[in-house]
Structure 1
Amino acid sequence: MSMHPFLIFPWQRPFLPDLVDTVERLSGGHPGNALIVVPHQRPWRYIVRLFAERGHHGLLPRTLPFSELVAQWRAGAGGRAKILANPLDQGALLHECVRGLARGDAALEARFARMDMARFLPWGLRLAALLEEMFTHGLEPADLAHLESEVAAPAAALLGALGRISRAWRAELEERGWTTPGLEQFLAAQGASEIPPLLLPAEDRPVFIAGFSVLSGTEDTLLRSLWRAGARVCLHTDPNLLEAVGPHWSCAEQSAWMRRWHARAEAAFPLSAEDARHRPHLEFFAGYDLHSQLEALATDLGHGDAASTAVVLTDSALLMPVLHHLPEKDVNVSMGYPLARSPLFRLVDALFRLAEGRAEDGRYHWRALLHVLRHPYLNMLQIRAEDGEALALRDGLRRLEALIRQGSRYVDLPACVADCRQQLPRPLADLLEQCLGTAIDALREVETTAGLGAWLGDIHEFLIAHGGDIWRRFPLDAEALFRLMRHVAPQLRQNALASEAFPPSLLYGIARQLLERERIPFEADPLVGVQVLGMLETRLLHFDRVFIVDATDDVLPGNPGQDPLLPDPLRAVLGLPDARRRERVAAYTLHRLCASARKAHFYWQEGVSHSALFDGKKLRSRFVEEFLWDVERRKNHLLAPGTPPLRAATCEVRQSPREPRLLCRTPRLDAAMAAFLRQPLSASRLDVYLRCPLRFVWETLCRLRPRQEVNEGDDPAAVGTCLHAALRALYAPWLGKKVCRGDITQASALACFHEAFDAADLRDLLPADARLMLEAAVPVRLREFLEHQPEETFIVALEQRIDAELSLAGRSYSFTGILDRLDRRDGLLHVLDYKTGSIRKHDFALWSDDAFFAEAATACALADSTGPCVSPDEGTLARLEAGFEALRERLPSMQLPAYIAMLESREGDAVGDAALVELRYRGEEHPLFDGLAGEELKAARSGCGVALALLLRHMEYAPRFAGRPDVHCRWCPYAPLCAS
């Protein structure tokens, strides 16, 4: 039979209807005699539907995907049946081959002779993938020498022996009765001249090769054999292939195909003038993120007619967000959803991460543990109690989470579980222990892939046993579980490395790779209406409306991944397709899809340039640039963003006036404040009110507690407690004695610090960087602290609790506090308060401002003159507010004034001054009165009582509690309440 010319089907028209017409015409009206060879199985469903719509009664043409063509070709060659080797089998076999060849190869011996399986397996899996790809392209691997400057040394050694490794590997596969899909294609291509009888073209049995655009090596060999025997090649492409005018650049591979086969082309049927003039109506939308694209997509889908519609996703990760935005929920999803994006994978990956981060003493990092405990699968499980009541596992998990949040960064899980059991019913406690034992404890004992497969099986059984009917309501998750048990777990249990012990990181990496290769299929029905599919699934298909989502350059055409074994520039040396060829394939797929559509919509995100270093927003695809340029060329002007057909996402941003957040005093808040003032008052609580009354209300009156969280960063409170303990121990031997500068050495101070550091367990509480910085800074800070001590002082008290009843402007209040250190200097008591944080300086001129204190005393007296349970008038409230604001600005802390007033209320030594000791910088003392003496000192001490009275009267009578925005808002736990 003579070789037929290639049949050119114009891509301005749908391909499959024209192909069906051609099959009917060339088969003499008996399409059941024809054989159609296609790249994949999906066209068969459309061909069946087309014949059904035409009312065909009889046999349908046989549609054979290329994989089945290879299988029949190999079956016709005879020979024994072989077992497909999975990737782990291939890696184990390659390890044997490489170690065998290393005996006679110095480069291989230097790199791989003593390399165990755990270190070799990553290289072995890459090598197996490379050999598989070369077999697919019909290439005999050859040794590539002198690549030491191009790739890493292990890769150069493997490539230098690539041909020998390939031959040894094939021999081992043959001896064991194993094979691979690529090797099957390679062997079929070697016997391409012997066409099986069922595939041989004949006059009464025409064969059509349809839908191929770019051929691999084995496809080229096998399909050429069929073509030479009389098969017809049907190309859906640019009709300019028939003319002197050059075809579209994306069809260059098809032109090269025809030249390579020395074939001529003819039109499958005449092209009408209307079809020749057809151009799709193009619309473009530039969004600022995925959500803006999906919002525009939903609007555009709702405005169209009921014509066939395709929502094309450039990345499978877009599937779930897109489905949530479709106005019509009854859609055909024909692309597989990656198992790696399912909740099941997140559960397994969270367990792996938990095990990888386990400390040497067996404790787990608290955040990784919470990721496991919060997983929705575990929180959906339940158990029946003896009385039939359903007990939800989530109740036990929440109790356990609360215990974990109260602990440290690394959790002793058995101890937490033991404490949690006491708070739970016995059936629920047993279920919790079984859950953690199956998911967490059992993984610690896994060392082999077989053990890992068994562990995954136990996870599956536990989820099924305690999930009840939930899996019927979540079919996607049920299918993920099925894939786990029927595809992934068997590969882990049944391979040549099943009993080989691996380190956990490699073992978990193997499992992750196998899980990432799995895809969850959808039922591809119905074939009309809105269809959601990937770019590859659009091959051979036609749609009136096409919506391409996230058309950015990193996925359309996409960037090649970094392969440490064979980088992209070296692929052409072996005859493998490089990034340029993959780009042409993607371009043909996109242009063919859009050429026959009535409307094509492109969506992408832009606005920030993408760089390799920082993950900025993406750039629109170069293919979209080509479509834009085509529209601009036809319109003869550049398209301005925001004007049709180049739309852009817009959002109106208005500056909202920043108003201070406040709460008006209510009867319940008034009662809570009154109850607070009747209790013993601490200076730290008063400082909270002085800094921000609104935070005081949230924290003290409303008793809102911040979310309990383990501190993973610096812990200033713990560091402050440690330094206070160290200084208390440092001065304890001098209690009741006089100490002079130089009596206390830096060595003794460091010894006290290290003792307090170990007692506080800061090595576990602080991150490594914070711990190292603290240990490096403390010796310097302690030396500076000792240098700034007075020449001599008498230590009166250390960490002494003090309680006092103070009469402030005619009112009696109870106060309490703890003095860090009380000294006697020049016959007067001096209060010292250690501060490890920053110190806000106060206005020293305040103590000599008689007018301020007189006004404060008057405002307090006026507020009290109204009588109990009666609110002061507006004028008095305004004077209180003005005095309070002035006090906040001039005296940022009431701690030292409160201590001075409390000491003065007791009989004993006269009170001198008080000072804050800034431990974080130089250890200097910052006195409250700054050297005042005599009557000035007495007046200043009296002013402390007036300042306290003003603050307390404001707390009692202020009609509203306003927030005071400041730098402290950055770490305030109630900042979200103010922003809401």
Structure 2
Amino acid sequence: MPGTPFFLFDWRKPFLPALKDFIARRTDGCPGRALLVVPHNRPWRYLQHLYALDGRPTLLPKVITFTELLGRWREQAGEPPVHTANSLDQVALLRECVAGLSRTDSGLAERFSRMEMEEFLPWGMRLAGVLEELFGYGVTAADIAHMEGEVAPPAAALLAALGRIQEAYARLLRERGWTTPGFDACETARLGEDVPESLRARDGRPVLLAGFALLTPTEDILLRRLWEAGADICLHTDAALALGDRPHWACEEHARWLRRWQARATLADAGDAADAAQPAGPEFHFFAGYDVHSQLEALREDLLAEMPSAKDAEDAVRLDREDGDEAVIHWTAGQEPAGPSTAVVLTHNGLLLPVLHHLPRKDVNISMGYPLERSPLFRLLESLFRTQEERGADGRYYWRSLLECLRHPYLAMLQQEEAVDPAAAPEAGRASLREPLALLAETIRQGSRSRTLEEVLAPVEVRLAPREARALRELVHILFSAFAAVRTCAELADALEALCVCLQERGGHIWPHYPLDAEAMYRLREHCLPVLRHNALSREPFTARQLFQFARQILRQERIPFEAVPLTGLQVLGMLETRLLHFDRLYILDATDESLPGSAVQDPLLPDSLRLELGLPDARRRERAAAHTLFRLCAGASKVTFSWQEGISRSALFDARKSRSRFVEQLIWQEERRRGRLLVPGEAPLRTPASAARPSAAQPEEIVHSPALREVMRRFLDGRISPTALDAYLGCPKRFVWHYLCRLREAEEVNEGDDHALVGKVVHRVLEQLYRPHIGKTVCAQDFRQADLAALLVQALADLGGEDALPPESRIMLELSVPYRLRKYLDEQPETTIIGLEEPLETRLSLWEGRRFAFWGQADRIDRREGALHLVDYKTGRVRGADTLLWNEEDFWRELDDFRRAAEAGEADADDALPLLAVVRERLHSLQLPCYVALLAGLRPEERVENACLVELYEKGKEHPLFSGPWTDEDYVVALRRCRELLGLVIWHMEHCATFRPVTGRCAHCPYRGACRA
């Protein structure tokens, strides 16, 4: 009633111990008589702990949250609901309301009459959230017209009918006996004029309303009725409110509350009046890091410094790292460590796991909700959903989607079914599914882009034991076939239930080691699946995409709770979880303005500018709530350290710069006023990271030519040598060693981009089929005018599997571009006589020291032009033609000849050959044509090989010749000898070099660039 005091508790002192003493005074030492109403349930654990520390049995106060209070009140106010609508129930009800109003509202009909449930779902969820807030704040909304230019058209249509939708929605809830938390608050405020007897204060049974700060209109109505019925209001706030002084600005909401109810304030403890005059406050420290890791490293150092002794710190770190296990220290009752309490406060839940990895001790109290959306379980479900959404109408699955699911770490840890007789074969019953899954992934990776489940399972099952094959097929059915068959929400819940059962039964040995994952699975089964299985839409058929969208929305609303034990020692909390609690030392991480107070989330349905017009909380109110939470927490601490990230440049597009919180700015300003000078970064209390730049250790860039490699190289040179291998060595000896000697291969997988090797094969096949009928004939451009290049290309694609191997866009571009470019090449075709196509070239060539080596290759085409042989090799990419002048530069050949003589005499140093190799690399670029010329001349010594050329099909089919010709007989002999000299130089260096050095500048497409570090 007006004039009844509010009891104020000085926020510089712990609230819950003072509240415990206050309850004892109000109940004459019998706390079990009291009824305590709190905003949330977290303080109850701490009150229990405080009573347990008394060491004597006693009846505890009855503690209920405001939500529980609403349930009791409405039950006794009449018309109790029979069902609490879940999120899908609310969406179904709203769709019914919108459909009914669309009959008379053309705006709604235009946007929503033909909208599928999948499209309506996000709008329905947002609309349900807005209506929930409207009910919770006791607001009866009006239609908001003419919003077409402010929000998206569907949102404008909903806002134009918002008042009517709210009215129809409330009517349907009452008719069906349904409710929601917000509707409960609204109806209780409307119907509950009289306070139920069980909630009224009476002699010897006080009712205390503790810890409230900012009230919603419905909370204001109901709490005022309780207060007028004799309940006590207990506020943890600035004691200046009771002394007539101006309170801290974060407590102004309490001052307005007092004025609104015409109440007076009195201190709950008379001793607080003297303490309130003392200007003592916490010691503030600030740390401006360059990223999250620097903040966590500073936190770890501070926590280590706080430990009782250096030995304890060493033991804690040792236990933390021992065998990779977490060290957990347990205390029995009465053995809790003495000393100040410490809390690490996280401004957003993304910090939780990084913080836990950096803490020096793991016996921490975690008191915050972790989003299920961030868990590995959600990632598995998301990959399963996406796999079905990307499945073709013919039942074929996209290969990457299948691999993403099968590579999830959960599956690799699963076991096969138990053996029939575990005693007889104990190991068989515990066999892992890791190897069968690896075989399945390998089969998928090496196949085509889309596969049916049977196509990937069949070749794997023949390589497995029957029990392994049966376990793998069962798992594939649970992961893919079961989800492919769902048609309703209830069937989707059954498929998810079967997945959970499989994970729990096959992975029962791992979940005790991964409590976060086990809890995520529990929340899925006990909280999310009932929502899917029991709602107004559960039996209605939907498309798979719609069903998976329903599941995503439900999963994203779920949070994984922690047990919050032990209640002593180091504690890790979210900012909201700190309400009503007290800690001596605080470490508040990532205190940026984006997290504290936090940026307003842009709502596509209801912009922040409209919320205040409707009477809903806007960004300013959220900031006041965050300010009260933070400054109340800091007021009772002795030491507070804020950390944040600085140095992120502002983005011109998104304006995404991270800046320290405005609350931190205020505290820094206050500290500067107290000191009378600006704080200097790097000096206490404004610390910065102290990092020293050190040169990184040099990595070996060369591969030593060890005895083992010499043996492998000997076997390589004794075999058949291809020009491709010589070009690989010329381009980069290090890459040659990894590829040809070490046999390191890239992972074989489905090609997603342009398959240049396959395109080359297709073009070569087209030209082969085009020229095959003309072998032995003289041809020119006119002979190919009528050639159907498009038909030849289609046939070549079919013969070589290009229709399945190439992406659709690449195949279309190939079908359009190749005939066009080949036609341009044929139009420039010189007159020539074709004497060979795809001709194999293989013989032994005598090189340096008279040694003979076997070379082989395949000439794309051999012509006869002007009575001499002419080699032609097609290239589908860009071509760097050889520098034909090199063949006539006598200085180079004289230097090469001198080096050969020194090498044959055993007096040459391999490093002296590097300049010669560099000239060949830069001016000839390739040894393919010199090798082909030498091979063809060896196979047909009776004819002269006049020239060889590379045909650049990428453009107009330009020919890039190897020689400038024509030759005299003497010049021809010299040219052949010089071709063999180049081959001899490269092979001699391959044998005699001490190290294989990388050649930089061409590393972009090297498969070994990650390991090379050249």
Counterpart for residue 519 of structure 1: 559
Task: Say whether 1:943 aligns with 2:943.
Answer: no
The Cα of 1:948 is off from its aligned counterpart by 0.9
The answer to whether the Cα contact below 8 Å between 2:7 and 2:267 also exists between their aligned partners in 1 is: yes
Change (3 A) 1:57 1:807: closer
- SS of 1:450's equivalent in the other structure is helix
Counterpart for residue 916 of structure 1: 950
- SS of 1:256's equivalent in the other structure is helix
Counterpart for residue 892 of structure 1: 925
- Distance in 2 (CA, whole Å) between partners of 1:250 and 1:176 is 43
Counterpart for residue 817 of structure 1: 857
Amino acid aligned to 2:919:
A
Amino acid aligned to 1:300:
D
- SS of 1:276's equivalent in the other structure is coil
Q: How do 1:133-172 residues align onto structure 2 when only pairs under 5 Å count?
A: 133-172=133-172
Cα displacement string for residues 422-447 of structure 1 (whole angstroms, at most 9, x for unaligned residues): 11111001100000011101111112
Counterpart for residue 380 of structure 1: 413
Task: Say whether 1:530 aligns with 2:530.
Answer: no
Q: How do 1:82-101 residues align onto structure 2 when only pairs under 5 Å count?
A: 82-101=82-101
The Cα of 1:509 is off from its aligned counterpart by 1.2
Counterpart for residue 1000 of structure 2: 965
The answer to whether the Cα contact below 8 Å between 1:706 and 1:973 also exists between their aligned partners in 2 is: yes
Which deviates the most, 56-65 or 655-664?
A: 655-664
Which deviates the most, 653-662 or 890-899?
A: 653-662
Change (3 A) 1:736 1:313: same
Cα displacement string for residues 124-165 of structure 1 (whole angstroms, at most 9, x for unaligned residues): 222222211111112223333333333333323322332332
The Cα of 1:44 is off from its aligned counterpart by 1.7
Cα displacement string for residues 104-137 of structure 1 (whole angstroms, at most 9, x for unaligned residues): 3333333334445444333222222221111111
Find 1:550's aligned residue among 586, 590, 593: 590
Change (3 A) 1:847 1:543: same
Task: Say whether 1:628 aligns with 2:662.
Answer: no
- SS of 1:255's equivalent in the other structure is helix
Find 1:749's aligned residue among 789, 795, 815: 789
Cα displacement string for residues 898-929 of structure 1 (whole angstroms, at most 9, x for unaligned residues): 01111111233211011111222332111111
Where does structure 1 lack aligned partners over 5 or more consecutive residues? 866-871
Find 2:462's aligned residue among 419, 422, 426: 422
- Distance in 1 (CA, whole Å) between partners of 2:815 and 2:232 is 80
Counterpart for residue 190 of structure 1: 190
Change (3 A) 1:481 1:886: same
- SS of 1:688's equivalent in the other structure is helix
Task: Say whether 1:356 aligns with 2:358.
Answer: no
The Cα of 1:779 is off from its aligned counterpart by 4.5
The answer to whether the Cα contact below 8 Å between 2:74 and 2:192 also exists between their aligned partners in 1 is: no
Counterpart for residue 925 of structure 1: 959
Cα displacement string for residues 720-744 of structure 1 (whole angstroms, at most 9, x for unaligned residues): 2222122222222222211112332
Task: Say whether 1:797 aligns with 2:860.
Answer: no
Counterpart for residue 868 of structure 1: none
Task: Say whether 1:571 aligns with 2:571.
Answer: no
Counterpart for residue 766 of structure 2: 726
Q: How do 1:507-906 residues align onto structure 2 when only pairs under 5 Å count?
A: 507-609=547-649, 611=651, 613=653, 618-654=658-694, 661-745=701-785, 748-790=788-830, 792-809=831-848, 810-865=850-905, 872-873=906-907, 875-906=908-939
Cα-Cα RMSD: 2.5
The answer to whether the Cα contact below 8 Å between 2:870 and 2:945 also exists between their aligned partners in 1 is: yes
- Distance in 2 (CA, whole Å) between partners of 1:878 and 1:141 is 86
Which deviates the most, 565-574 or 275-284?
A: 275-284
Amino acid aligned to 1:73:
W
Find 2:293's aligned residue among 243, 266, 291: 291
Counterpart for residue 325 of structure 2: none
- Distance in 2 (CA, whole Å) between partners of 1:165 and 1:977 is 62
- Distance in 2 (CA, whole Å) between partners of 1:541 and 1:241 is 21
TM-score, length-normalised on structure 1?
Answer: 0.94
- SS of 1:970's equivalent in the other structure is coil
Cα displacement string for residues 883-905 of structure 1 (whole angstroms, at most 9, x for unaligned residues): 33433333321000001111111
The Cα of 1:69 is off from its aligned counterpart by 1.3
The answer to whether the Cα contact below 8 Å between 2:121 and 2:550 also exists between their aligned partners in 1 is: no
The answer to whether the Cα contact below 8 Å between 2:911 and 2:993 also exists between their aligned partners in 1 is: no
The answer to whether the Cα contact below 8 Å between 1:312 and 1:535 also exists between their aligned partners in 2 is: yes
Task: Say whether 1:979 aligns with 2:1013.
Answer: yes
Counterpart for residue 401 of structure 2: 368
- SS of 1:101's equivalent in the other structure is helix
Aligned length: 971
Cα displacement string for residues 848-907 of structure 1 (whole angstroms, at most 9, x for unaligned residues): 123332332343343334xxxxxx44x443444443343333332100000111111123
Q: How do 1:22-33 residues align onto structure 2 when only pairs under 5 Å count?
A: 22-33=22-33
Amino acid aligned to 1:209:
L
Change (3 A) 1:118 1:669: closer
Counterpart for residue 301 of structure 1: 303
Q: How do 1:433-472 residues align onto structure 2 when only pairs under 5 Å count?
A: 433-472=473-512
Change (3 A) 1:813 1:52: closer
- Distance in 2 (CA, whole Å) between partners of 1:806 and 1:451 is 72
Counterpart for residue 375 of structure 2: 342
The answer to whether the Cα contact below 8 Å between 1:746 and 1:783 also exists between their aligned partners in 2 is: no
Amino acid aligned to 1:367:
R
Where does structure 2 lack aligned partners over 5 or more consecutive residues? 308-338
Task: Say whether 1:261 aligns with 2:267.
Answer: no
Change (3 A) 1:855 1:823: same
Counterpart for residue 322 of structure 2: none
The Cα of 1:654 is off from its aligned counterpart by 4.5
The Cα of 1:174 is off from its aligned counterpart by 2.2
The Cα of 1:339 is off from its aligned counterpart by 1.7
- Distance in 2 (CA, whole Å) between partners of 1:448 and 1:312 is 42
- Distance in 2 (CA, whole Å) between partners of 1:928 and 1:302 is 71
Counterpart for residue 320 of structure 2: none
- Distance in 1 (CA, whole Å) between partners of 2:936 and 2:590 is 71
Amino acid aligned to 2:977:
S
- Distance in 1 (CA, whole Å) between partners of 2:165 and 2:135 is 13
- Distance in 2 (CA, whole Å) between partners of 1:687 and 1:919 is 21
Counterpart for residue 534 of structure 2: 494
Find 2:346's aligned residue among 299, 302, 313: 313
Change (3 A) 1:898 1:283: same
Amino acid aligned to 1:249:
W
Which deviates the most, 244-253 or 951-960?
A: 244-253
- Distance in 2 (CA, whole Å) between partners of 1:852 and 1:230 is 108
Amino acid aligned to 1:355:
Q
The Cα of 1:761 is off from its aligned counterpart by 4.2
The Cα of 1:644 is off from its aligned counterpart by 2.4
- Distance in 2 (CA, whole Å) between partners of 1:677 and 1:549 is 63
- SS of 2:960's equivalent in the other structure is strand
Change (3 A) 1:382 1:806: same
Identity of aligned residues (%): 50
Cα displacement string for residues 208-265 of structure 1 (whole angstroms, at most 9, x for unaligned residues): 2211111112111111112223323222223343466543333333333233223333
The answer to whether the Cα contact below 8 Å between 1:881 and 1:958 also exists between their aligned partners in 2 is: no
- Distance in 2 (CA, whole Å) between partners of 1:766 and 1:286 is 51
Amino acid aligned to 1:131:
L
Change (3 A) 1:423 1:617: farther
Change (3 A) 1:840 1:456: same
Which deviates the most, 549-558 or 385-394?
A: 385-394
The answer to whether the Cα contact below 8 Å between 2:611 and 2:617 also exists between their aligned partners in 1 is: yes
- Distance in 1 (CA, whole Å) between partners of 2:991 and 2:796 is 41
- Distance in 1 (CA, whole Å) between partners of 2:646 and 2:404 is 33
